[in-house]
């Protein structure tokens, strides 16, 4: 199978009779995605005779690519960076979460309709419970970013009535806009604290320093750390041992943020658990049957080292 398809490939698509590609992840970049190996394992286990591909599609190609994929009778798609926010406008139906935050990561093509879903939100909650044995409702959470993934994570924190929610984004206005969308979830104090339950902060060292003592969980929902040589989105000197760090990035067991957290004595996990759960929930939307979670987990599990492995959580 070709490793990565482009818009040009879609325009000249040759339908293969055996194991045709009928699902895929659409992104820019997309080479790092582990979704194909995870979904192909699920498809093989469930004896569904189709495959899952990778589609490198630029932002200005998204509408045409989705239209072509629908015409080619694909079952569905996953969307990753940077398409989650542009895609809802192309859908005919959206689930309730997607409607509120205008971000989707899953598409189902059915009865000549394009339907958009957001499985990142519930997947994040399951991932945090699995990694740290805690529930979002007990946590003071700070999210780095206000893009597609951050919106889903923020919505889930709000729906589960977390103690506090702080959004830090480079473009401050976008962080403020996200906070306003979630305001009605945060009426009234939950526990006594002089800090606001919901706020947007600027991406500045002083602003981070001021927050850390009143935060339990920091989530990286930016692409910082995705490319080799990237720094940690927050330096180790800004972190503290009481923190839990969840990096939605999963390229490499120790992402720069996970390394910085461990250096600061904090607990940390990379985004593999969120990838697993968003993928399992997408599989259930496409096929209306339970996803083979453990088969999918095994397909993305990092190889075990022979010497004692470094724990990230
Ligand atoms: P997106 O919609 O493009 O949003 C990107 C966000 O990151 C924006 O808020 C942007 O801030 C911020 N950002 C970009 N470059 C930055 C930099 N150099 N410094 C600080 N902030 C920066 O992307 P997305 O779809 O939300 O994806 C974000 C990340 O989440 C990706 O790395 C993706 O792989 C990961 N993710 C993982 C999973 C999983 O299952 N593990 C699921 C979803 C997403 P501005 O607003 O200022 O531009």
Complete DSSP assignment for 49-103: --EEEEEE--GGGHHHHHHHHHHTT--EEEE-TT-TTTGGGG-SEE-HHHHHHT-
Q: What is the pLDDT of residue 292?
A: 98
Determine the average pLDDT of the residues in 8-18: 84
Please name the residue whose Cα sits nearest to atom 43 of ligand 1. Answer: 149
In tens, the pLDDT along 45-57 reads 999 999 999 999 9
Q: What is the pLDDT of residue 137?
A: 95
Q: What is the pLDDT of residue 309?
A: 39
**In Å, what is the CA distance from 102 to each residue of 29, 62, 86, 93, 98?**
21, 16, 8, 12, 5
CA distance 72 to 11: 10
The kind and range of the H/E element at 113 are strand 113-117
- As given in the structure block, the two tokens for residue 95 are 């689930």
Contact 186, 165 (CB under 8 A): yes
Mutate to test the pocket of ligand 1, among 148, 207, 223, 276 (most ligand atoms within 8 A of CB): 223
Lowest-confidence range among 207-211, 241-245, 298-302?
298-302
Closest ligand 1 atom to residue 222 Cα is 7
Rounded to two decimals, the pTM is 0.94
Residues in the chain: 313
CA distance 153 to 221: 8
pLDDT greater than 90 at residue 192: no
Determine the average pLDDT of the residues in 129-136: 98
- 170: Cβ below 6 Å to ligand 1? yes
Cα–ligand 1 centroid distance for 248 (angstroms): 9
In tens, the pLDDT along 57-68 reads 999 999 999 999
């Amino acid at each position: 199978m070709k490793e990565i398809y482009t818009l040009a490939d879609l325009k000249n698509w040759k339908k293969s009779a055996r194991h045709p590609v009928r699902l895929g992840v659409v992104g820019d970049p997309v080479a790092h995605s582990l979704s194909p190996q995870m979904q192909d394992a699920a498809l093989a286990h469930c004896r569904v005779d189709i495959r899952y591909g990778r589609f490198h599609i630029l932002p200005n190609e998204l509408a045409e690519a989705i239209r072509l994929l629908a015409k080619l009778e694909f079952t569905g798609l996953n969307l990753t960076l940077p398409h989650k926010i542009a895609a809802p406008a192309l859908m005919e139906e959206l689930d309730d979460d997607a409607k509120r935050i205008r971000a989707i990561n899953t598409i189902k093509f059915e009865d000549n309709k394009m339907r958009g879903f957001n499985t990142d939100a519930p997947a994040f909650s399951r991932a945090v419970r699995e990694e740290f044995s805690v529930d979002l409702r007990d946590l003071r959470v700070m999210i780095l970013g206000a893009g597609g993934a951050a919106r889903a994570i923020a919505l889930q924190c709000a729906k589960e009535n977390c103690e506090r929610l702080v959004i830090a984004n480079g473009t401050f206005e976008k962080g403020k806009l996200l906070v306003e969308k979630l305001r009605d979830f945060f009426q009234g104090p939950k526990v006594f604290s002089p800090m606001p339950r919901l706020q947007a902060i600027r991406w500045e060292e002083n602003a981070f320093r001021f927050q850390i003592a009143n935060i339990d969980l920091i989530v990286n929902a930016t692409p910082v750390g995705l490319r080799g040589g990237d720094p940690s989105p927050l330096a180790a000197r800004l972190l503290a041992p009481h923190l839990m760090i969840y990096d939605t990035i999963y390229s490499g067991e120790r992402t720069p943020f996970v390394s910085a957290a461990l250096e600061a004595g904090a607990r940390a996990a990379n985004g593999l658990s969120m990838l697993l759960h968003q993928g399992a929930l997408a599989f259930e939307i496409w096929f209306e049957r339970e996803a083979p979670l453990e088969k999918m987990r095994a397909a993305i599990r990092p190889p075990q080292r022979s010497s004692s492995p470094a724990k990230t959580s």
